[in-house]
Amino acid sequence: MNDSTSDSGPFDIVGDVHGCADELEQLLDDLSYRTQWNGKTVTVTPPSGRRAVFLGDLVDRGPRSPDTLRIARHMVENGHALAVVGNHDDKLMRYLAGRNVTISHGLAETIEQLREEPPAFLAGMQAWLGTLPSHHVLDDGKLIVAHAGFKESLLGRTGKSVRAFCMYGAATGEIDEFGLPVRGDWAAGYAGKAMVVYGHTPVSEAEWAGRTICIDTGCVFGGKLTALRYPELELVSVPARRIHCPPTRPLKAP
């Protein structure tokens, strides 16, 4: 966890990018961030007083995972953004560290894209991904951001179980007809005071469920890339340029 309760924003919270850097650049532009490239070096200038928040799963499946990493890392390291770790980011970090991971769910495409990058880039990204927290508590505890979700009982706690829930949500141990893990609907029973903004499970449209909202609207699957402006609670989206990766199962309806 990164306790930033004194940080009240305002924020622009961005859902799962999955290597869709073209759409990310367009979304940032629509949110009045200015992105400039000089070769492989990127500079992002935010609108006055605002910061982005990345909900994780920066990589895999999409066509420009290295550039997505460049954008997010630059913004975080320059104080223009916060980020939490997603399960795809964590898996890439473990792969770059030489650990044995299953090459699936888009990681092969990311590995292929990374073949064009120098060793220093890979080492730097491995180290940076390792710094990403499981979640952020913001705005005097009024806002929590995590990749896959959050339960009130996790407040103030750290450790593997907290990190696992934030990255994967409520595991049931079951596999659905598409061969994918079944996740419990933690949001249906959420009764915490804090607003929780998360991604991980792609939906066709972002919609509030009590004090929670999932803003992964499946850009990489041909949906759209969505941001939630806070405290305005305004949704801003850009459509996917194309279907970068056919979905294994249909996007969940809100």
pLDDT tens, position by position, for the chain (254 residues)? 566 778 889 999 999 999 999 999 999 999 999 999 999 999 999 999 999 999 999 999 999 999 999 999 999 999 999 999 999 999 999 999 999 998 988 999 999 999 999 999 999 999 999 999 999 999 999 999 999 999 999 998 889 999 999 999 987 767 766 666 777 789 998 999 999 999 999 999 998 999 999 999 999 999 999 999 999 999 999 999 999 999 877 777 76
How many CB atoms lie under 10 A from the CB of residue 41? 9
For the chain, how many residues are written? 254
How many CB atoms lie under 10 A from the CB of residue 178? 9
**CA torsion, ordered 28, 218, 10, 209, to nearest 10 deg:** 160
At residue 178, the pLDDT reads 66
Q: Where are the domains positioned within the chain? A: 2-239
At residue 183, the pLDDT reads 74
At residue 171, the pLDDT reads 75
Q: How many Å apart are CA 9 and CA 50, to the nearest integer?
A: 6
At residue 1, the pLDDT reads 54
* Class of 2-239 in CATH: alpha beta
At residue 3, the pLDDT reads 62
Q: How many Å apart are CA 209 and CA 207, to the nearest integer?
A: 7
Sequence-distant (6+) residues with CB within 8 A of 215 are 13, 14, 15, 55, 197, 198, 199, 206, 226, 227, 228, 235
- Identity of the residue numbered 239: P
The model's pTM: 0.94
DSSP state of 47: P
Q: How many Å apart are CA 84 and CA 88, to the nearest integer?
A: 12
CB of 219 within 8 A of CB of 26?
no
At residue 2, the pLDDT reads 62
Beta strands in the chain, from DSSP E residues, in sequence order? 2-4, 11-14, 34-38, 41-45, 51-54, 81-83, 135-138, 143-146, 170-175, 181-184, 195-198, 208-209, 212-214, 224-230, 234-239
Beta bridge partners of 3: 137
- Identity of the residue numbered 117: E
At residue 104, the pLDDT reads 86
